[in-house]
Structure 1
Amino acid sequence: RFVPHVIEPAAGADRTVLAFICDAYDEEEITNEKGKTETRVVMHFHPRIAPVKVGVFPLLKNKPELVAKAMEIRAMLQPYMTVFYDETGAIGRRYRRQDEVGTPFGVTIDFDTIGENGDATNNTVTLRDRDSMEQRRVKIADLLGILLQEIM
């Protein structure tokens, strides 16, 4: 009878990571504003395990005040979470790119943020949820707290 003296346990993260990716991947059929059906690819990572927690997007890249405010918000959030800044392409395409990589939240800096459309929405941003695609206005001062609460 042979009794081994060495036991070699094998464990790795490969299968676990693959399971998370397979579980998170989803394709949704949606109708765009022109009435055409499109496939929306989404990675539904839980916010805790998403590699990027929030995307920051100025509405227009050729408006220096929007870009400056977006950079300010990115600098405010970066010490607490992984932030991705994107200013290329239409805002809808930026949302879709972040949906595909699993970013749970998007923050859009628009003309309301800098006060061009009145004082009621001054210093607010649009916070978009990846899974529901719902958007809501939140104060910049409350943004970090809201995101930390949603992620945890």
Structure 2
Amino acid sequence: MRWVLLTVALVMAGPAIADWQYTRWGMSPAQVIEAGGGIKPWRRPEADTSTGIIQLVGSYQSSGIGFRAEFKFSQNRLTRVVLTPKSADCNSLKALMARTYGRIPGQGGTIIQTWRDANSGNFVAYTHFQLTSFCQVDYSQLQSAGSRGGM
């Protein structure tokens, strides 16, 4: 019994593992392809931005919503996963995000809601442009205060 408690205490004391589903932040494109089925290289080059370069795309399904998944990399390391519903099912996505992360205020125009998910080590951003029926979810690694590039 003591060994079980000691093991649990050591696991809980370790650093949080930051990831999105079957990926880990910092993976190479080859590692992401190997980890997830059906992920393919993105054929349209994109200029390097502060959010990385889309190098891979694939499909993802959650709670009955089908998504196009874009995997963004900086210096060949995974930095972001962006999910966009394949159909304009933004109301279902908004409800799913509210159930998962908490209430989403706002009714008209543009909704941008963010969460710091300490359990998964992710920063989550939900964006919904209601006039155009466009919405997406953006996952990236949660940064700690005082880390490089922060305040």
TM-score for the superposition, normalised by structure 1: 0.29
| Larger gyration radius, structure 1 or structure 2 | 1
Q: Which has the higher strand share?
A: 2
TM-score, normalization by structure 2: 0.30
